[in-house]
C-alpha cells in the first residue's frame, strides 16, 4: 500500500522560499500510471490544488501560483518536492502531498492517496 510522507520546515519567514519534500513508500514514483501532487488547506481558502509532477518531470501548476512555484522529482530517492518562493502570510497552510490516479481507459485523474500533511507557518 502506497504511503506518502511530507517533510520540511514548519516555519518560514516572509519573502523567503518554502521547500517541502514528499517521500513515497510502498510503490515506485516511476510508475507511469500516476501524477504526484501538492494540495494545501487553510481556514480562509479551503482546499487548494497546487500542481502535479509526472515521474518524467512534466508538470502542471495552478496558474494562481505558477509564477512562484517549482516542483521537482527524484526517482532515485522515490520522492518529489515543492518550492514556493516569495511567501507571505497567505501561504500559511497545511500542505499535503498526494497521488493522482485515473480510471482504466480514461485519463482523468483524481486524488486517491494523501499524505498526512505538514503545517507551514509564514511568520517573522
Partner 1 sequence: DIQMTQSPFTLSASVGDRVTITCRASESINNWLAWYQQKPGKAPKVLISKASSLERGVPSRFSGSGSGTEFTLTISSLQPDDFATYYCQQYNSYPVHFGQGTKLEIK
Can you give the binding site for partner 1, defined by CB under 8 A?
A: 46-49, 51, 60, 62-64, 96, 103, 108-112, 114-117
Q: Catalogue the E-assigned strands of the chain.
A: 3-7, 11-12, 18-25, 35-42, 46-53, 59-61, 69-74, 79-84, 93-102, 109-114, 118-122
For every residue of 5-25, DSSP letters joined together read EEES-SEE-TTS-EEEEEEEE
30 versus 60: smaller Cβ distance to partner 1: 60
Whole-angstrom distance, CA of residue 103 vs CA of residue 3: 20
Nearest-approach distance from CB 36 to partner 1, in angstroms: 14
Show the cell assigned to 46: 479551503
Q: How far is the CB of 124 from partner 1 (least distance, A)?
A: 27
Question: Closest separation between CB of residue 18 and partner 1, Å?
Answer: 19
Nearer to partner 1, 69 or 87 (CB): 69
Pairing of strands 46-53, 35-42: antiparallel
Quote the least distance from Cβ 76 to partner 1, whole Å.
26
CB closer to partner 1, 14 vs 66: 66
Rank residues 16 and 59 by Cβ distance to partner 1 and give the closer one.
Answer: 59
Amino acid at each position: 500500500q502506497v504511503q506518502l510522507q511530507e517533510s520540511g520546515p514548519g516555519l518560514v519567514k516572509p519573502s523567503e522560499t518554502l521547500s517541502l519534500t514528499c517521500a513515497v513508500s510502498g510503490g515506485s514514483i516511476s510508475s507511469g500510471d500516476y501524477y504526484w501532487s501538492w494540495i494545501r488547506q487553510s481556514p480562509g481558502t479551503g482546499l487548494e490544488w497546487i500542481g502535479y509532477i509526472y515521474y518524467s518531470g512534466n508538470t502542471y501548476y495552478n496558474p494562481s501560483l505558477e509564477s512562484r512555484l517549482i516542483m521537482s522529482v527524484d526517482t532515485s530517492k522515490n520522492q518529489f518536492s515543492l518550492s514556493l518562493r516569495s511567501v507571505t502570510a497567505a501561504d500559511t497552510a497545511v500542505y499535503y502531498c498526494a497521488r493522482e490516479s485515473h480510471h482504466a481507459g480514461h485519463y482523468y485523474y483524481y486524488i486517491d492517496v494523501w499524505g498526512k500533511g505538514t503545517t507551514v507557518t509564514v511568520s517573522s
